[in-house]
Structure 1
Amino acid sequence: MKKQIQMALLALAMSPLMALAQQTFSSPEQAASELANAISHKDDAALNNLLGENWQQFLPPDGVDPEAVARFLRDWQLGHRIVKQSDTAWLDVGNDNWRLPIPMERSSTGWAFNIAAGEDEIQTRAIGRNELSAIQAMHAYVDAQQDYYQLNHRWAQKIISTEGQKDGLYWPIVPGEAPSPLGPNFAPAVPGEGYHGYHFRIITNGDKGEVALLAWPVEWGQTGVMSFMVSQNDKVYQADFGEQTTDKIAAMTRFDAQAPWQLAE
């Protein structure tokens, strides 16, 4: 009987129910300082204690942007303050008071981070970054098409060249060879993965071989919301096609900036 009890306790100790409790603090200022320290030292164990062991599931699929981490630490050194609202507190850092999307909440045991409460804001910010990256990619595409036209006196009809050819905006090069007009980022390492949460496709624009570019989220509402379109005039248009985004984009074969498209700001 004693052995059975010991085995039962061992099984319980190994279960998720016995995972370490999330760390709490006497003040939100102390919690914020510990978070900054854990981030600066890249201490995953400390982050597990601070944010909970499942904190990474609330982040974008590609994880934390290293540039965002570096920017946070720089802003933290410039200055930081706690903004309290009843039993909730927020961390603002830097001269522009950038706000950490993860709130700290007070319970009977003290202050602790609640990353689940910040999930919507984390996703909203990730979508915003993806959309800005898509717009920047559209402008890069226009420049690449201009370079391609100077070399070939025609517009490229595809983004990635056929293997062994240079019939697209990107092709692999050997050392010493001039680079292709477009870099390899538009070619995801995993098919269907997209670039910063977006797919891209070249379509026609008129009857003279002119072309335009479409960009749409890999997963609407998750990796992006707006779809984008640009021609060689470098004016980017945007539209929200909602849950029908994939089907509506698939049906588009020609550049047409009529409603619901509108200039992107």
Structure 2
Amino acid sequence: MNTIRKNVSKTLLSLALCACAIPAFAQQSYPTAQGAADALVDALGTTKADAAKLAVVLGNDWRDYVPEDSIERKDVDAFLARYMESHGMTAGKDGRMMITAGSGALWTLPLPLAQDDKGWHFDMAAARDEIRTRRIGRNELDVEQVLRAYHDAQMDYAEVDRDDDGTLEYAQKLVSTDGKHDGLYWSEDDSGQISPLGPRFGDDKPKGEYYGYRYHQFTSQGASAPGGARNFLIGDNMSRGFALIAWPAEYGETGVMTMMIGYDGQIFERDLGPKTDELARAMASYDPDSAWKEVPETTTASTATP
């Protein structure tokens, strides 16, 4: 995934604005869609965004749609550089227009422009849907890469007897107990052994989330899984396979599809609906039946780097 494309998307959702109070403004309309685009670029400024101008351009309730988490100005500058390089308009849904920036591979701003009897304005309700759709798509691509990284890490983990018990086994944890190598990630130590998963997977995540998803390992698989039903455990060792499920932390906001991967490396996905969290937590084993669809390996580069 293009780094600028992803970072600029975050930038224009965050806008790095000061948290000071500003007067209330009615959102302004413009004679042309390009005029609205120019006003937004002007509000972003050359060195610092103008909060008052942004309130005029995007409306007084822009905070309902745009997080106020600060990010580096360089991401704003990256978008502005692409915009100054080349920009234009492309048709969106329901007669709306979308701002494009850059030459070659165009990047489309996730803030649609709509026209009414007053002129052109940024449709922030439509922007919320567009932003959510892009976030879900980005998260799902990243989670696919996380699952593939998990599979590779398990294969690496099982090449070494990590607990000196004379048995090669897969890790039963994603993150190791402090001072041990009983999970796929551990902090750098003097053992000389490199953690199969990188440090980003070991970082503290709110509510155990990673790219907007939650994760759980299975210790068995059902009859529908490749290879048929079996317990992965032999005694205390998980030597007969592994599997991981990932489901959206907030269905419809951070993701839609629930995904699973097992020993053979095939990812399966399914839309479990509004009760995704409840249904995913209730699954006792890896058992992708006919309701689950195979996910082909994507050639799209991902920013997911566990």
TM-score range with shorter-chain normalisation? 0.7 to 0.9
Aligned partner of 1:122 among 131, 143, 166? 131
Range with bigger deviation, 142-151 or 127-136? 142-151
CA distance in 2, matches of 1:169, 1:263: 25
Tell me if 1:33 matches 2:38.
yes
Report how many residues are paired.
250
Q: Find the counterpart in structure 2 of residue 162 from structure 1.
A: 177
CA distance in 2, matches of 1:102, 1:37: 16
Structure 2 residue matching 1:90: 3-state secondary structure:
strand
Deviation at 1:34, TM superposition (A): 3.3
CA distance in 2, matches of 1:235, 1:67: 39
Range with bigger deviation, 143-152 or 180-189? 180-189
Q: Which amino acid aligns with 1:76?
A: Y
Q: CA RMSD in A?
A: 3.4
- Structure number with higher helix proportion: 1
Aligned partner of 2:49 among 26, 43, 60? 43
Structure label with greater radius of gyration: 1
Higher relative contact order structure (alpha carbons within 8 Å, sequence separation ≥ 6) = 2
Range with bigger deviation, 162-171 or 38-47? 38-47
CA distance in 2, matches of 1:157, 1:231: 13
Deviation at 1:163, TM superposition (A): 2.5
Q: Find the counterpart in structure 2 of residue 7 from structure 1.
A: none
Q: Find the counterpart in structure 1 of residue 62 from structure 2.
A: 55
CA distance in 2, matches of 1:65, 1:256: 44
Q: Find the counterpart in structure 1 of residue 261 from structure 2.
A: 230
Aligned partner of 1:211 among 238, 242, 265? 242
Tell me if 1:183 matches 2:188.
no
Structure-1-length-normalised TM-score: 0.78
What does the per-residue CA deviation read over 1:141-165, in whole Å, with 9 as the maximum and x for residues that have no partner? 1121122112232100110112222
CA distance in 1, matches of 2:183, 2:23: 56
What does the per-residue CA deviation read over 1:79-110, in whole Å, with 9 as the maximum and x for residues that have no partner? 22124689843212343444323222345554
Structure 2 residue matching 1:81: 3-state secondary structure:
strand
Q: Find the counterpart in structure 1 of residue 98 from structure 2.
A: 90
Structure 1 residue matching 2:159: 3-state secondary structure:
helix
CA distance 1:27–1:168, change in 2 (3 Å): same
What does the per-residue CA deviation read over 1:26-75, in whole Å, with 9 as the maximum and x for residues that have no partner? 43213213323544645151433322343243247978899986774464
Q: Find the counterpart in structure 1 of residue 146 from structure 2.
A: 137
Range with bigger deviation, 59-68 or 42-51? 59-68
- The question of whether the paired residues in 2 share the 8 Å contact of 1:188 and 1:195 is answered with no
- The question of whether the paired residues in 1 share the 8 Å contact of 2:186 and 2:202 is answered with no
What does the per-residue CA deviation read over 1:152-195, in whole Å, with 9 as the maximum and x for residues that have no partner? 32100110112222100112225895541112433453441501
CA distance 1:163–1:84, change in 2 (3 Å): closer
Structure 2 residue matching 1:192: 3-state secondary structure:
helix
CA distance in 2, matches of 1:193, 1:169: 15
CA distance 1:67–1:17, change in 2 (3 Å): closer
Query: Once the two structures are aligned, what percentage of the paired residues are identical?
Result: 36
Aligned partner of 2:251 among 203, 217, 220? 220
Where does the alignment leave 5 or more consecutive residues of structure 2 unmatched?
1-20, 162-167, 222-229, 233-238, 297-306
CA distance 1:195–1:57, change in 2 (3 Å): farther
Structure 1 residue matching 2:89: 3-state secondary structure:
strand
CA distance 1:176–1:63, change in 2 (3 Å): farther
CA distance in 1, matches of 2:181, 2:152: 17
Structure 2 residue matching 1:216: 3-state secondary structure:
strand
Q: Find the counterpart in structure 1 of residue 209 from structure 2.
A: 194
CA distance 1:148–1:42, change in 2 (3 Å): farther
Structure 2 residue matching 1:150: 3-state secondary structure:
coil
Q: Find the counterpart in structure 2 of residue 173 from structure 1.
A: 188
Q: Find the counterpart in structure 1 of residue 86 from structure 2.
A: 79
Range with bigger deviation, 154-163 or 79-88? 79-88
Where does the alignment leave 5 or more consecutive residues of structure 1 unmatched?
1-15
What does the per-residue CA deviation read over 1:200-219, in whole Å, with 9 as the maximum and x for residues that have no partner? 11112433531111100001
